[in-house]
């Protein structure tokens, strides 16, 4: 799960959040990633994205202060049944 809403958990006005989220979507598309819009919560509800086929390191880069300045992201990996 990734988002551009509320950098560092600080509540931003809706317009700023929507503009930041649009920038994140553009960047993900430029990098060749597919994503789904999902609901998320980090202290308060915020629009989030489920990004497929992305590495933990790339998510960390997007969450970094030089990009979208997020305190956290959620990463998971699909594994085969044993």
pLDDT in tens, 11-58: 899 999 999 999 999 999 999 999 999 998 888 889 999 999 999 999
pTM for this prediction: 0.87
Residue with tokens 């629009």: 47
Tokens at 7, concatenated = 């950098």
**pLDDT confidence band for 82 (50 / 70 / 90):** low
Written as six digits, the tokens of 6 are 């509320």
Burial of 4 (0-12, 13-18, 19+ CB in 10 A): buried
> Which pLDDT score is estimated for 27?
96
- The values of phi and psi at residue 78, to 5°, are -75, 130
Rounded CA-CA distance 32/51 in Å is 11
């Amino acid at each position: 799960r990734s988002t551009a809403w509320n950098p560092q958990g600080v509540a931003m006005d809706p317009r700023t959040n929507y503009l930041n989220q649009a920038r994140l979507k553009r960047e993900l598309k430029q990098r060749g990633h597919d994503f789904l819009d999902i609901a998320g919560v980090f202290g308060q509800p915020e629009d989030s994205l489920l990004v497929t086929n992305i590495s933990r390191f790339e998510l960390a880069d997007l969450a970094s202060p030089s990009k979208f300045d997020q305190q956290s992201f959620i990463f998971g990996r699909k594994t085969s049944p044993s």
